[in-house]
Structure 1
Amino acid sequence: MKQIIMDVDPGIDDSLAILLALRSEKLNVLGITTVSGNVELHQATKNALKAVQMSGKRTPVYKGAELPLVKSYVDATDTHGKDGLGETFYQDIILEHENKHAVDYLIETMNKNPNGVEIVALGPLTNIATAIQKDRTFAGNVKGIVLMGGSARYPGNCSPVAEYNFWVDPHAAQIVFQSGIRITMVGLDVTHKIIFTPNLREIVRQFKTQISQYVYDITQFYVDFHWKQEKTIGCVINDPLAIAYLISPEIMVTKYGYVEVETVGIAIGQSVVEFTKHRTNIEVCMEVNTESFFKVFLHNLFPENIREIDILLGKEFNRREVLEKGNYRF
């Protein structure tokens, strides 16, 4: 079982990722650290606690950085809603966060478990960069980082060239990439293919459980945003893909490269990726098997419905393949 810490800014898709990680038998989530990103720190922490509560687990949650290292903070409430959970405004959160600061928790955990714990970073990298700056031994004790962020070849989602997590705190991202930590980048090159379609959302709703209703409800705002913004039917759920990669690495094809993050100017936040044999500091996910991802995602969230999931996924992806090939004879 892989030992991980999740560093998150929930956010709709972060919340789905927390559920996936906590319900997987292949991952042991030691703790969850929060950072301002999709929503400000206080709300992000509440949303993390809500996801933990929904999972039925009691994983500790630690509050981290309120602001980026240098750049002014800009949230993504236009995408995730004022509360970060699609404006569902849950009031039933009974769990509380830990008193220890997220950065101190990260440093202490890595010192106690050198090269034994991986970090899954799904938001701006402020907490991790701060830990690197605060403790010179930290980077050497981290087993690796799997992060959702950046892009090698795909356009940005908050500027023509920048992905949101890197754009919010580009200085932190640059520090992390220059730290020597082994990094796998699950960026927009693959996450843009992970579309939670109306059919798949309806499958989930029909399971009629507390978790299935939660997943359906928080993604409705996301669906509406994607339609207004880019005329996508459904919604792109970026963050669970990083968790799915940890559970089943075979769902993706990766390529070694070297990356730096632009910290000034019109291209601020851009991950500039060079695929070279001369130097590497990253493994970039370049291709994903979308059907395999949804099997990992849905099987772990709803293990009691695996048979129905497999039947319905077969119908969903076979139908899509027929349409993509232009064969309309049914």
Structure 2
Amino acid sequence: MKKVTALLVAVMLLLCGCAKYDKNGRVLTTGGTLYPNGGLVEAAGAAKQSPIPVILDVDGGADDVLAVILAAKCEGLDVRGIAVTQGCVDLQTAGRNVLMACAFANLDVPVALGAEKPMEREAVTDPQHHGADGLAGMQLPPTERALSELTAEELYCQVADECSGRLQIITLGPLTNLGQVLKSHPELIGKIERVVAGCGTLDGLPEFNAQNDPEALQMVMDSGVSLTFLVNNICDRSFVEFTPLRDDLISRQGTSRYILCAENRPKSRLSQLYMEIGKTEKGNRMYGYLVVDWVNNEQAAQPPEQMVVTVSLEKGEKGGQMQFDTALRADEGYPVILESTTLLWDKLEELAECYNK
């Protein structure tokens, strides 16, 4: 009976696409996979690595909402809290969006509000790509959950003290919160193992997170904290799709594939959200999602390239422009992820399987 039960568990995990197996067919629970629906199922003799304690720092846009929903299912990540910043929407709207995402994902962590505006500039939102409410058409169920009594700064300090130097920060919005906390608490630099920032583009054009608050970005760069960049261009390869679209969806290009994901996974709670994004022209470049996916799958992902990184602090349109140049020596610059090996649509369907009704 035990053998039959174990076999059924393995088959269920294989169908979910959320497990890895060794050469003998045993389920492995090492980092880089997703939890199946209902949580992790341990197998006898399974090898499990300790997940990375992380704080997500987000601005409540559509890609960040799906990134939170993804992070809740990433076996390699231990989400200790979420810091919210202004960005593509105002701070209060961002906080509401993150609370709804956490409730949807059953992720019970403190959600702490941080910066209401950039450090030295007027706030810049992004309704063009995320809609007025930041959700790009998604209708998340309302929640009774409340924001943490902690500020984002207090959350950073508390979690860093708890994690014995293993804490990693994943920033998916402007770096305002992190810039402010490192300015006020420079001792945290020694308690943070690494910051992974979704920030910048290779074509020299302003990327939203850098453009919104380049002073905060520069402050983080100058702090000496270990910092890895994932440039926005990682979206380009991730959107490669070899399966032809239906004739009625070809004109919609990126967003139309959310409709296909929804139709392919009708039993998933995510299908409705995918369908709602697919009916808009917004939210179709899931940058934040890809950053979280890279951290969870780093060992199997595209390795970084060492590059010298600069950011313009000019006022006006040139503010936030970033330049990436190959470093002359190995000890110069920052690790930069230039492209992703992830096919986003495969990942979205894999995640949908983990939220079956």
Q: Same fold (TM over 0.5)?
A: yes
Secondary structure of residue in 1 paired with 2:79: strand
Match of 1:270 in 2: 321
Determine which of 135, 150, 156 is the counterpart of 2:200. 150
Q: Which residue of structure 2 aligns with residue 286 of structure 1?
A: 338
- Flag the 1:225–1:22 CA change in 2: closer, same or farther, 3 A: closer
The residue that corresponds to 2:34 in the other structure is: none
Instruction: Kindly indicate whether residue 86 of structure 2 is the aligned counterpart of residue 86 of structure 1.
Output: no
Percent identity of the aligned residues?
A: 24
Deviates more, 1:114-123 or 1:201-210: 201-210
Find out whether 1:54 has 2:104 as its counterpart.
yes
Structure 1 residue 46: Cα displacement? 0.4
Candidates 149, 154, 158, aligned match of 1:104: 154
TM superposition shift of 1:114: 3.6
- 1:304, 1:19 → 2: CA distance? 9
- How many residues get paired? 288
Q: TM-score, normalised by structure 1?
A: 0.81
Distance 1:206 1:189, change over 3 A: closer
Question: Do the aligned partners of residues 88 and 20 (structure 1) sit closer, same or farther apart at CA in structure 2, a change above 3 Å counting?
Answer: closer
State the Cα distance separating 1:296 from its structure 2 match.
4.1
- Per the alignment, in what secondary structure is the counterpart of residue 211 of structure 2? helix
Tell me the secondary structure at the aligned position of residue 28 of structure 1. Answer: strand
Q: 2:292 maps to which residue?
A: 243
Amino acid across the alignment from 1:204? A
Q: Which has the larger radius of gyration?
A: 2
The corresponding residue for 2:262 is 204
Unaligned 5+ segments in structure 1 are 156-160, 227-234, 306-330
Secondary structure in structure 2 of the residue aligned to 1:272 = strand
> Residues 154, 298 of structure 1: CA spacing in aligned structure 2 closer, same or farther, 3 A cutoff?
farther
Cα distance change, pair 219–173 in 1 and its aligned pair in 2 (3 A): farther
3-state DSSP class of the match of 1:123?
Answer: coil
Residue matched to 1:174? 218
> Which string of whole-angstrom CA distances, capped at 9 and with x for unpartnered residues, describes residues 99-151 of structure 1?
11011111221133242110110000000000101112012211101111112
**Inter-partner Cα distance in structure 1 for 2:141 and 2:261:** 27
Q: Quick one: distance in 2 between partners of 1:300 and 1:91? A: 19
Contact kept, 8 Å, 2:237 with 2:339, in 1: the verdict is no
1:206 Cα deviation from its structure 2 partner = 4.0
- Deviation per CA, 1:42-77, whole angstroms, max 9, x where unpaired? 000000011111112222211111010001111112
Contact kept, 8 Å, 1:44 with 1:84, in 2: the verdict is: yes
Contact map agreement 2:89 2:125 (CA 8 A) in 1: yes
Q: Is the CA contact (8 Å cut-off) linking 2:73 and 2:354 kept in structure 1?
A: no
> How far has the Cα of 1:297 moved from its partner?
4.2
Matches within 5 A, 1:217-256: 217-218=276-277, 220-221=279-280, 224-225=281-282, 235-249=284-298, 250-256=300-306
1:188 alignment partner AA: N
Q: Counterpart amino acid of 1:267?
A: K
Q: List runs of 5+ in structure 2 lacking aligned partners.
A: 1-50, 240-253
Checking the alignment, whether the CA contact within 8 Å between 1:194 and 1:238 is kept in structure 2 is: no
